Amino acid sequence: MRKLLIGLVIVISMTGYGRVACAQSAEEAAGRVVFNHCIACHFIEPGKQGFGPNLHGVYGRTAGTLPGFAYSAALPKSGIVWTEDNLRKWIAGNDKLVPGTRMRHVSITDKAEQDYLIAFLKSLK
């Protein structure tokens, strides 16, 4: 899987979209590809809200604290800070990490894909 994603990054870097990816590390660019699973609900541009909370600046933020988003009661009560370890657990099975969350079950269990996605999320500052 890791070779496939790196190959996708190389192909992307040859397109107009790749100009954005080239400013990032290969791991972050591969994470942008994995993030395609998330874009139906989450924005990464500052200030935009979607069905899910905006993920710009998510790394290091306390769960359930983004102003203007109506979270389920379970997420703010969790007290979780979005560290690398907690993001990995969330990505692998959000309903196991925080039972009662409104987010539909997500399960990206491939460690390389998790690494890429976390690298991308950490880059959103």
Q: Which of 44, 55, 30, 35 is nearest to 112 (CA)?
A: 30
Residue 17 maps to which CATH number? Answer: 1.10.760.10
Is pLDDT at 30 greater than 50 in this prediction? yes
Whether the CB-CB separation of 121 and 87 falls below 8 Å is answered with yes
Whether the CB-CB separation of 72 and 100 falls below 8 Å is answered with yes
- Domain hosting 73: range is 2-123
Which helix (H) or strand (E) segment holds residue 96: the answer is helix 84-97
**Cα–Cα distance measured from residue 23 to residue 122, given in angstroms and rounded to the nearest whole number:** 14
Q: What is the pLDDT of residues 79-99, one digit of tens each?
A: 999 999 999 999 999 999 999
> What's the domain count of the chain?
1
Q: Which of 20, 21, 50 is nearest to 38 (CA)?
A: 50
Better-scored residue on pLDDT, 7 or 68: 68
**Cα–Cα distance measured from residue 95 to residue 98, given in angstroms and rounded to the nearest whole number:** 5
User: Whole-model pTM?
Assistant: 0.80
